[in-house]
Amino acid sequence: MKIEIPTMNGFIPDCYSKFANEDQKIEGKPSRSFPIFITDAPDKAKTLAIYFRDFDSVPVCGFTWIHWLAANLPVRDVPANISHSKNSSLDFVQGNNSNISKFLGENSGPVEGYTGPMPPDKTHYYTLTVYALDTKLDLKEGYWLNDFLREMEGHIIDSATISVPSRAK
């Protein structure tokens, strides 16, 4: 399986990151999810799951930042802006992202679904993994990363990972 997202000059496009227009943000954080183009998905796959994270956040906040968890997506390209779109006809569930962390003080931005890159110090490299699964996962909206990972155990047919930078300035 192969995955691809659009880039702009090699970076995550501004409309999906800290430079998004204000109408594409929730409480100051980017909320428009990027499209994911899927090729060569296994024929036996029943659903897709997404894990989007920032390992470069560790020196900044002390942990890997979870930007997006999504499960039970159909096995096809993932359209742009599905995370917070009220008009999405896709039946899928989204987990908590790191905006919910008690270590951040008051929550800001969306706590479920996509929250876009906002590197504060320098260019960060974001890791996107898409999993092809042999089943629909038994998860409810607002699940945690540990539940997501446990539910996938024994059900991953294939996966693909890419690293994509987002600019700080």
- State the Cα angle at 140 between 163 and 26, rounded to 5°: 60
Predicted confidence band of residue 93 (pLDDT cuts 50, 70, 90)? very high
Mean pLDDT of the chain: 94
Predicted confidence band of residue 19 (pLDDT cuts 50, 70, 90)? very high
Instruction: Give the pair of three-digit tokens for residue 29.
Output: 């954080």
Element (H, E) at 39: strand 37-39
Predicted confidence band of residue 102 (pLDDT cuts 50, 70, 90)? confident
Instruction: Give the pair of three-digit tokens for residue 113.
Output: 């679904």
In angstroms, the CA 26 to CA 169 distance is 20
Instruction: Give the pair of three-digit tokens for residue 19.
Output: 């430079």
pLDDT tens string 141-151 = 999 999 999 99
Residue-range domains of the chain with CATH: 2-166 (3.90.280.10)
Q: What is the pLDDT of residue 105?
A: 66
pTM, rounded to two decimals: 0.95
